[in-house]
Amino acid sequence: MSIVVLITGANWGIGRGLLARYLALPDHTVIAANRDPDGASSRALSSLPRGEGTRLEVVKLDASVWQDAFDAVASLESRGVADHLDIVIGNAGVSYIWPAVADVRLEDIEGHIKPNVYGQVALYQAARPLLRKSKREPILTNMGSTAGSLSAPLPFPNAAYGPSKLASAWYTLKIHLEDDWLHSFSLCPGWVHTDLGDAGAKAFGVDEVTQAKFMIGLEESCDGMLKVLSTTTKAEHGGKLVLYNGETVAW
């Protein structure tokens, strides 16, 4: 039976990197969910190399729209794309402004909470019935971040994105506790040289020397996360924040 993997925000950055790696494996059905399936970045996914017996499917899913996750899963079922899901990776999210608490605006808090938190919950609820039909231990993971850490808060202003990742962590842990059959955990890609990662470094005034010390390339991050996803279990990582290199860190 084909292993079915659904990745949101799969047309660029980390999502695209993970998508490419799953497509290269044999006997997989890889579903690229993104806001604009007809856009150039989404259409370009069809040119990625594929392993034997592996196919690519594209579906519309905007993490800022609650109903989209449910419509996306219904579309997969009605089109005969998937009768189960084995791995769901909630990669879609935003990080576009990094204010201090004294300066953060309501619209920016809401602008991060909607895709990063509401979108996570909607994806879980929509995918849950098909995850339950998996013949293996199903995985539901979202992109975690130390930006939401309570134990070791980062020394940067981050009053819009940070709280959204903290709330996301709460849902990840509660899903793990509520569904004993589902492996729910957060996967931290590290501080990666992507458009978002580089924008954050610029906003924080991080110099090139510091970037070289703390930031990593997309290839290293995605290779590491794929390895984690291929070996992780609920017993080992359930409800936890796991770095791309396999290390577990405190929330």
Catalytic residue numbers read 161, 165
Rounded to whole angstroms, the Cα distance separating 217 from 250 reads 23
In 3D space, the residue among 72, 66, 165, 154 whose CA is nearest the CA of residue 116 turns out to be 165
Please give the structure tokens belonging to residue 95: 């990080």
Angle between helices 119-131 and 66-78 (to 10 degrees): 20
Alpha-carbon torsion, ordered 131, 38, 109, 142, to 10 deg: 30
* Spatial contact of 60 and 72, defined as CB atoms under 8 Å apart: yes
What backbone torsions phi and psi does residue 57 show, to the nearest 5 degrees? -125, 145
Backbone angles phi, psi at 139, to 5 degrees: -115, 130
Side by side, the strands of the sheet bearing 248-249 are 55-60, 28-34, 3-8, 87-90, 139-143, 183-188, 241-243, 248-249
